[in-house]
A = this chain, B = another copy of it.
Amino acid sequence: MYEGAVQDLIDELGRLPGVGPKGAQRIAFHLLQADPQDVERLSDVLLAVKEKVRYCERCFNVAESQLCRVCADQRRDQSAICVVEEPKDVVAIERTREFRGTYHVLGGAISPIDGIGPGDLRFTELMTRLASGEVTEVIIATDPNLEGEATAAYLSRFLKGMDLKVTRLASGLPVGGDLEYADEVTLGRAFEGRTLVHV
């Protein structure tokens, strides 16, 4: 509907996840009115991200050199590996400042409906890391949904018989939430995993 360049931009923006036709139009007109330098900067960072960013050779987190920031940090505890689905999960856990070990990013979760099997995820690479014998604990931190649970189940079978402490992040009530608004599965899990206060 628009002339050449504007329509091209709207089309390209509309291909991004979470950006609908209205959103693409809104962003395009925002950029039309923006400072040329701002638009150039956006264009530059787009190219930079493809040039510079690769995956950490050890844990497959996003990185700008061979190792990601966590793996390159000598102070991190190499004996604990937290297994997550995506690099954004690493960021979420780092934000808590609870964990001082390293990560392993699987690159997704097992999902037969999307045709993603264990072979599409980085289990072999995890096995190689565990073979070094340095690791004593594996923390399974896949998403608490169907695919994440399937991946966690596969992983725990995969790790069985190895001389490792294997843990899974606790399920329960979200802090700051209302008990009455919790769904039954979450509330059920919170009961199941109830902790002892005193006897």
Instruction: List residues of A whose CB falls within 8 A of some B CB.
Output: 1-6, 8-9, 12-13, 15-19, 23, 25-32, 36, 38-53, 62-64, 68-69, 86-88, 91, 94-95
Q: B87 near A29 (CB under 8 angstroms)?
A: yes
Which chain B positions have C-beta within 8 A of A39? 46-47, 49-50
Q: Which of B27, B41, B46 has a CB less than 8 Å from the CB of A16?
A: B27
Number of identical protomers: 2
Which chain B positions have C-beta within 8 A of A53? 3, 5-6, 32
Which chain B positions have C-beta within 8 A of A27? 16-19
A41-B12 contact in complex given A28-B49, A32-B62, A64-B3, C-beta closer than 8 Å: yes
Which chain B positions have C-beta within 8 A of A29? 86-88
Q: Which residue of B lies closest to A8 (CB)?
A: B45
Q: B9 near A45 (CB under 8 angstroms)?
A: yes
Q: Which residue of B lies closest to A95 (CB)?
A: B1
Q: A64 near B4 (CB under 8 angstroms)?
A: yes
Q: Which of B2, B5, B44 has a CB less than 8 Å from the CB of A45?
A: B5
Q: Which of B1, B30, B42, B87 has a CB less than 8 Å from the CB of A17?
A: B30
Residue from A36, A43, A91 having most chain B Cβ neighbours under 10 A: A43
Q: Which of B2, B36, B64, B95 has a CB less than 8 Å from the CB of A62?
A: B2
Bound: A51/B9 CA distance, A: 12
What are 9 A-to-B residue pairs whose CB atoms are below 8 Å? Answer: A2-B87, A2-B91, A3-B63, A5-B49, A6-B49, A29-B88, A32-B50, A40-B50, A43-B44
Q: Which residue of B lies closest to A30 (CB)?
A: B17
Q: Which residue of B lies closest to A4 (CB)?
A: B64
